[in-house]
């Protein structure tokens, strides 16, 4: 992040980064991507559900405080995670 960013721009970038971290954690827990630390595919639906719940909670708690772009970004990530979770759960 550059020093030329406003506080609002910086906070928006940090929020999106946090959501992407939760997305990555959920995808790893669903076995969709390798854990870069272990270099292995891991599987824990309980952990994936926790990450999804955290994104859902953040969206709910920040309602009315997000820009349209931020809200759309978080909503899209949440919908994709939920669809993946349902598909993984159905196939296991």
CA distances 18 to 2, 7, 11, 15, 92, Å, are 18, 16, 10, 5, 28
Q: In the predicted model, what is the mean pLDDT of the chain?
A: 95
Rounded to an integer, the average pLDDT of 38-57 is 96
> Please, which pLDDT band fits residue 56 given cuts at 50, 70 and 90?
very high
Residue 4: the pLDDT is 85
What string of H, E and C letters represents the secondary structure of the chain? CCCCCCHHHHHHHHHHHHHHHHHHHHHHHCCCCCECCCCECCCCHHHHHHHHHHHHHHHHHCCCCCCHHHHHHHHHHHHHHHHHHHHHHHCC
The pLDDT-based confidence of 3 (bands split at 50, 70, 90) is confident
HSE-up (13 A, CA, CB side) for residue 79: 6
pLDDT value at 1 more than 70: no
């Amino acid at each position: 992040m550059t020093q030329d960013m406003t506080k609002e721009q910086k906070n928006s970038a940090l929020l999106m980064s946090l959501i992407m971290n939760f997305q990555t954690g959920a995808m790893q827990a669903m076995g969709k991507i390798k854990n870069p630390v272990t270099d292995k595919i891991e599987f824990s639906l309980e952990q994936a559900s926790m990450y999804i719940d955290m994104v859902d909670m953040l969206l709910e708690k920040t309602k009315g405080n997000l820009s349209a772009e931020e809200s759309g970004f978080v909503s899209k990530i949440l919908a994709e995670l939920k669809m993946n979770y349902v598909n993984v759960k159905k196939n296991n």
